Amino acid sequence: MAVLLLFTSLAFAQNIPVSGRIINSADGSPLAGATIHVKGANITEVTKQDGTFQINVPAENSILVISFVGFKDMEVPVGTQRQFSLSLVPSESSLEDVVVIGYGTRKRVEVTGATSSVSGESLRTVQTTNLTSALQGRVAGVTATQSSFRPGGGSSIRIRGNRSLSASNEPLFVVDGFPVSYTIDDMNPADIESVDVLKDAAATAVYGVRGANGVIQITTRKGKTGKISISYQGSQSVESIISPLPVFNSIELTDAQRQAFFADTAYTRNITKRTASNPLYYYPDALADLALFKNRFGSLEQWNSIKDAYTWVVYDPVNNIYIPKKRATTDQEKAVLQSLQYLGAMRTDSIDIYDPSQIKSFDWLNEVGLRNGRTSNHSISVTGGGDKFKASFNAGYFKQTGIEYAQDYTRFSVGNSVEFRPAKFITFGATINYIRSITNTSTSSYANASGMIPMVGPYDTAGNWILYPNRDAQIVNAVNDRKTVMDQTTVNRVFGNVYAEVALFKGLKYRTMFGLDTRNSIRGTFNGAQSSVRGGSPASASQTTNTATS
């Protein structure tokens, strides 16, 4: 009995640039399309036409795994080295491997350019959400991209680029010999034994027009002759954003707004074009700010955050009396003001006392926009059998909590396969898989937070949520959406097949198969009254159900 122990990995955002060149050891020619993968991390790059590559590794103890079809894999520790010159050795044995093509098999040496293969062991070296993510950067000519970075988001695969401007460019997916009609993203990568990618017409011909965009053949884990083997694989990771969106804080935003109005010669005490009786101001002026933020922008909240940056002789908003305290200008400030006199007369001997550090500022992105994401991934596999009977059982649990609030994805998977061979010339088999996934989404807390005004916060002094904290109907506070906006999709999927195979004589087999792929999805939405979606209007809810079978 083989038992694989749980390992835990924590992901930290580091970037150590490493570059190099990979060549064929036999003739020194560059290897274009070779895969460079950081062992134990979801970081992969592919060499360019001249064999060069660049990749960022998380730590100096990282190990680079170099692979290319027809060559032996190479593992290279990074250490303190930053530039590598590597040679891959051709693997004669790999060219003798058998590749499944439609209804038959051929040696890899005969179809090297037409097919590529990825083993299940290679897929399991990195914990990924789905098969598409696991294939990223591993197969030359195959581009795997996620259409959404939300947990459980969709993805797409392109084999040798797009072929049509209007029709689908998705390849045909074949699982255990049976074409499936729906996404493979809800499959557990740990349940996969191997993936063969058929790229050109010669390899995909047996599938007809369905294989026009290429074919991805997936073989799931099966029972093996020998003792019962139990394997377990698990991981725990923490995710955080590497490069947050650069946004203004309160000090930067107020200064940018003053400069914009100054450039328009309108940073005056009534925010109109400067005149002889309505002079222009260059340095922060309390009464000009009052006119700009409170009167022009109509935001008492912004003004209340800014006013404490000034020192007041008299501050009486009830009677509309505002007298700021002034100080003498420095020689440098006076010189600047004198150089700007061509814009109109400006007072050069004194300016208002101003301390920008006293401006109140709310960090929307870090306080309510993002959190640390977490991913749990656990899989167990049991295989065994003898000469006449083989069986396997796979089970998996995956849970990803996104870095945005109210975004998560959960997947449960169970699979079973059996193979019975009562005589040497006949074989019966069956495979069945059940997958249940739950995807929760809401409005984007990050997108909303990045567009908010930092001089105001999401709650009033009593802790109550404010829909329009800036008194602007175009700037909506979506903090409450994590509790009041819900969009949940639950998918139950069953797919599998039964087959019988008879060996008629050497080199010829007859195989008959029946397969089923049924998918049921239920999507429920709820938008509460106190949300950015409803804006105080009555709450709304909906539910849709979709069932399809092929």
- Domains annotated on the chain, with CATH: 9-91 (2.60.40.1120), 97-220 (2.170.130.10), 250-358 (no CATH), 364-549 (no CATH)
Question: Residue 188 pLDDT more than 90?
Answer: no
Of the listed ranges 124-128, 195-199, 268-272, the least confidently predicted one is 124-128
Determine the pLDDT at residue 202.
58
Question: Residue 203 pLDDT more than 70?
Answer: no
Question: CA angle, corner 255, sides to 253 and 468, nearest 5?
Answer: 35
**Residue labelled with tokens 């008879």:** 502
Pair 62, 78: CB distance under 8 Å: yes
Q: Is the pTM of the predicted complex or chain greater than 0.85?
A: no
Q: What is the mean pLDDT of residues 354-382?
A: 91
Of the listed ranges 124-128, 293-297, 468-472, the least confidently predicted one is 124-128
Q: What is the mean pLDDT of residues 228-236?
A: 88
CA separation for the pair 377, 398 (Å, rounded): 5
SS3 523: strand
Q: What is the mean pLDDT of residues 374-398?
A: 91
Question: Residue 6 pLDDT more than 50?
Answer: no
More confident site: 205 or 546: 546
Q: Where are the alpha helices (DSSP H) in 180-236?
A: 201-204
Ramachandran region of residue 173, left (φ > 0), alpha (ψ -120 to 50) or beta? beta
Cβ within 8 Å of residue 7, ≥6 positions away: 234, 235
- Edge-first strand order for the sheet with 192-198 is 115-119, 192-198, 215-220, 172-175, 178-180
Return the amino acid letter for 332. Answer: Q
Return the amino acid letter for 17. Answer: P
Tokens read off for 418: 């059996």
Question: Residue 104 pLDDT more than 70?
Answer: no
SS3 82: coil
Cβ within 8 Å of residue 171, ≥6 positions away: 157, 158, 159, 211, 213, 214, 215, 216
Determine the pLDDT at residue 11.
37
Of the listed ranges 179-183, 321-325, 501-505, 528-532, the least confidently predicted one is 179-183
Q: What is the mean pLDDT of residues 145-161?
A: 79
**Which pLDDT band holds residue 2 (cuts at 50, 70, 90)?**
very low
Distance of CA 192 to the CA centre of its chain: 22
Pair 316, 324: CB distance under 8 Å: no
Pair 415, 394: CB distance under 8 Å: yes
**Which pLDDT band holds residue 168 (cuts at 50, 70, 90)?**
confident
Mean pLDDT for the chain overall: 85
HEC profile for 362-377? CCHHHHHHCCCEEEEE
CA separation for the pair 132, 156 (Å, rounded): 7
**Which pLDDT band holds residue 101 (cuts at 50, 70, 90)?**
low
Pair 91, 71: CB distance under 8 Å: yes
- Element containing residue 259 per DSSP (H, E): helix 250-263
- Edge-first strand order for the sheet with 508-527 is 226-239, 373-385, 389-401, 408-423, 426-441, 485-505, 508-527, 540-549
SS3 455: coil
Pair 156, 147: CB distance under 8 Å: yes
- The closest of 115, 229, 129 to 437, measured between CA atoms, is 129
Pair 206, 102: CB distance under 8 Å: yes
SS3 143: strand
More confident site: 404 or 122: 404
Of the listed ranges 121-130, 421-430, 456-465, the least confidently predicted one is 121-130
Q: What is the mean pLDDT of residues 4-30?
A: 67
Determine the pLDDT at residue 12.
39
Question: Residue 3 pLDDT more than 60?
Answer: no
**Which pLDDT band holds residue 374 (cuts at 50, 70, 90)?**
very high
- Element containing residue 333 per DSSP (H, E): helix 331-339
Tokens read off for 273: 């074009």
Of the listed ranges 123-132, 323-332, 434-443, 472-481, the least confidently predicted one is 123-132
Pair 380, 234: CB distance under 8 Å: no
**Residue labelled with tokens 């191997």:** 194
Q: What is the mean pLDDT of residues 10-14?
A: 42
Question: CA angle, corner 213, sides to 210 and 219, nearest 5?
Answer: 75
Question: Residue 518 pLDDT more than 70?
Answer: yes
Query: What is the percent of the chain with per-residue pLDDT over 90, rounded to a whole number?
Result: 38
Tokens read off for 127: 């914990």
φ, ψ for residue 457 (rounded to 5)? -110, 175
Determine the pLDDT at residue 176.
85
